[in-house]
């Protein structure tokens, strides 16, 4: 009977707690370029657009072996198990029992001094069910399901963060290699100039001050190499951790930031971030879970109806245990209504509403932060691309000035102060160009991260970590 009527009496208030989101939704990005928004949307494997085979291999390794991703996957297993735990009260609880008892009372005080031994055998089946008339247990189950969904989006947040960090770390390695290369070239040029000055000193056309100044510049360039090597090697160790390798067993070939292409990408419509960003989807699922938690806490104020039934067989002889006369049954229905609990239920409801408000504000912040992230990444990518072009012109002009100064120095027709200035200008310009290229690459990865990963060719938005079809955001 309980199994028959329970579905019709369960879940009477589910779906009542839906706060207004009140989101400030822009219609376009201020820094976005005009044109077709779908002309260059990021693909799922967006890192291939940098055209680096080594980077692609590192990305594949990170998604397979990164330990943070493994932890996030383990959290999904826990969340799924919690769904089963939360769903258990919606099903009847059935318990089977069997017993055999032998009794031999004391013979003292009995007439005739004798006693008898008797046996009792029984088997029973007990079933109980709590009618979820107000939807408390079902709301708890829905909250657990939303938390399980949030754990999946958390995995995608971790995956996206990991692959972006792999790209950024790899680019920092390339930049450090570029800086080491530039510094060594500058050191060789400074030593070459030092040789020319020493020749002029021996010929009496240069002073000891000129020699000392150039020696100081040579020493400065030589001292600049170890810190750059520290940066390079430490980033290699960090990259090893990201791909789940021991640093001692890991190596990076590297190359140059100048050989890395920057893929063109357009941000699409701002509203699409609600489907695309896994952190927004995670906040959305957490908000939905807190909505159901409020429903569950409110339903706890109402009466709880418990149905219990027991049936079985009992006999003093094992041979007659399952005869018709040994059968018994018991049916019980009980109703429990909280009257006074020291304001426990009221406090639990207030707590659930507080968590709901917290998750609502977190969701709003996640949405606005996503819009801000895209704007900042677009601005950074545009400006650093412009700066790279301008800085390349600075390097070209500085290189030409230094070459002219070196030739005139060889001919003895230039002031040594002018040569020193030309050297330092070139060295600074070259190092700045490496930094600008690194900043541009980091801005590109920030844009991909801000957009939430990649899009399928059809325009359906899915995350980096999985190909699950998206669902509509909370309304």
Q: Could you identify the residue written with the tokens 């109980």?
A: 128
Residue 234 CB-density burial (10 A; 0-12 exposed, 13-18 middle, 19+ buried): middle
Residue 379, CA distances (Å) to 143, 272, 445, 452, 460 in order = 40, 19, 13, 17, 26
- Cα distance between residue 377 and residue 389, in whole Å: 18
Please, which residues bridge with residue 125 across strands? 96, 311
Beta-bridge partners for 64:
none
Which among 270, 239, 265, 266 has a CA at the least distance from the CA of 252? 239
CB atoms within 10 A of CB 221: 21
> What is the C-alpha to C-alpha distance for residues 441 and 207, in angstroms, rounded to an integer?
46
Strand, helix or coil at 256? coil
Look at residues 313, 314, 310 and name the one whose alpha carbon lies nearest to residue 332: 310
Name residues whose C-beta falls within 8 Å of residue 155's C-beta, 6 or more positions apart in sequence: 69, 72, 73, 75, 76, 465, 466
- Which tokens in the block code for residue 327? 């059968």
Q: Which residues of the chain have pLDDT under 50?
A: 1-11, 457-475
Rg (CA), the chain: 37
- 30 three-state secondary structure: coil
Which long-range contacts (C-beta less than 8 Å, at least 24 apart) are formed by 228-232?
228/176, 228/179, 228/180, 228/183, 229/176, 229/180, 231/172, 231/176, 232/173, 232/176, 232/177, 232/180
Residue 444: predicted pLDDT:
93
> Which SS3 state, helix, strand or coil, does residue 250 take?
coil
Lookup: tokens for 437: 């290229």
CA atoms of 194 and 239, how far apart (whole Å): 39
Per DSSP, the residues of 79-106 read: HHHHHHHHHGGGS-EEEEEEEEEEE---
What is d(CA 401, CA 421) in angstroms, rounded to the nearest whole number?
10
Cα separation, 422 vs 414, whole angstroms = 12
Q: What CA–CA distance (Å, rounded) separates 103 from 83?
A: 46
Long-range Cβ pairs for the range 368-372 (8 Å, 24+): 368/23, 368/24, 370/273, 370/277, 370/279, 370/280, 370/450, 370/452, 371/26, 371/29, 371/270, 371/273
| Euclidean distance between CA atoms 357 and 376, whole angstroms | 28
What does pTM read for this prediction? 0.83
- Please provide the distance, in angstroms rounded to a whole number, between the alpha carbons at the two ends of the chain: 38
Instruction: Retrieve residue 167's tokens.
Output: 């790209």
* Contact present, 96 and 122 (Cβ < 8 Å): no
Tokens of 475: 């309304």
Q: What is the DSSP letter of 334?
A: E
For residue 17, the model assigns a pLDDT of: 63
Q: What are phi and psi of 45, to 5 degrees?
A: -95, 60
pLDDT of the residue at 334: 83
Residue 318 backbone phi and psi in degrees, to 5: -65, -35
**Residue 35: CB atoms within 10 Å:** 9
Structure tokens at 230: 């520290």
H or E stretch covering 129: strand 118-131
């Amino acid at each position: 009977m309980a199994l028959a009527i329970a579905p019709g009496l369960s879940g009477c208030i589910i779906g009542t707690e839906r706060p207004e989101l009140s989101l400030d939704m822009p219609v376009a990005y201020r820094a976005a370029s005009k044109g077709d928004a779908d002309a260059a949307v990021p693909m799922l494997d967006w890192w291939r657009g940098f055209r680096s085979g080594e980077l692609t291999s590192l990305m594949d390794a990170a998604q397979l072996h990164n330990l943070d991703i493994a932890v996030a996957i383990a959290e999904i297993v826990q969340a799924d198990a919690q769904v089963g735990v939360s769903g258990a009260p919606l099903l009847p609880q059935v318990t089977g029992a069997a017993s055999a008892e032998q009794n031999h009372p004391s013979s003292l005080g009995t007439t005739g001094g004798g006693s008898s031994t008797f046996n009792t055998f029984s088997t029973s089946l007990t079933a109980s069910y709590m009618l979820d008339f107000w939807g408390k247990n079902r709301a708890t189950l829905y909250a657990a399901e939303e938390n399980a969904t949030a754990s999946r989006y958390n995995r995608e947040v971790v995956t996206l963060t990991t692959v972006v960090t792999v790209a950024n770390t790899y680019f920092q390695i390339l930049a450090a290699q570029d800086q080491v290369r530039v510094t060594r070239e500058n050191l060789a040029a400074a030593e070459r100039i030092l040789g020319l000055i020493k020749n002029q000193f021996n010929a009496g056309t240069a002073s000891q001050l000129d020699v000392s100044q150039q020696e100081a510049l040579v020493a400065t360039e030589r001292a600049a190499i170890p810190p750059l090597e520290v940066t390079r090697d430490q980033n290699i160790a960090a990259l090893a951790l990201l791909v789940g390798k021991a640093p001692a067993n890991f190596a990076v070939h590297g190359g140059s930031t100048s050989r890395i292409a920057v893929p063109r990408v357009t941000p699409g419509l701002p509203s699409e971030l609600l489907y695309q960003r896994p952190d927004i989807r995670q906040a959305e699922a957490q908000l939905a879970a807190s909505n159901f938690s409020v429903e569950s806490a409110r339903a706890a104020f109402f009466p709880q109806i418990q149905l219990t039934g027991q049936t079985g067989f009992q006999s003093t002889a094992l041979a007659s245990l399952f005869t018709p006369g040994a059968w018994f049954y018991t049916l019980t229905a009980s109703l429990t209504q909280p009257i006074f609990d020291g304001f426990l239920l009221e406090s639990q409801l207030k707590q659930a509403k507080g968590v709901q408000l917290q998750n609502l504000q977190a969701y709003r912040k996640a949405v606005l932060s996503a819009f801000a992230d895209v704007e900042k990444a677009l601005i950074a990518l545009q400006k650093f691309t412009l700066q790279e072009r301008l800085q390349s012109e600075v390097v070209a002009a500085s290189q030409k000035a230094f070459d002219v100064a070196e030739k005139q120095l060889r001919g003895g027709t230039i002031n040594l102060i002018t040569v020193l200035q030309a050297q330092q200008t070139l060295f600074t310009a070259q190092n700045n160009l490496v930094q600008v290229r690194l900043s541009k690459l980091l801005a590109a990865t920030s844009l991909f991260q801000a957009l939430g990963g990649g899009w399928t060719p059809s325009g359906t938005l899915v995350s980096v970590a999985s190909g699950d079809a998206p669902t509509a955001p909370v309304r």
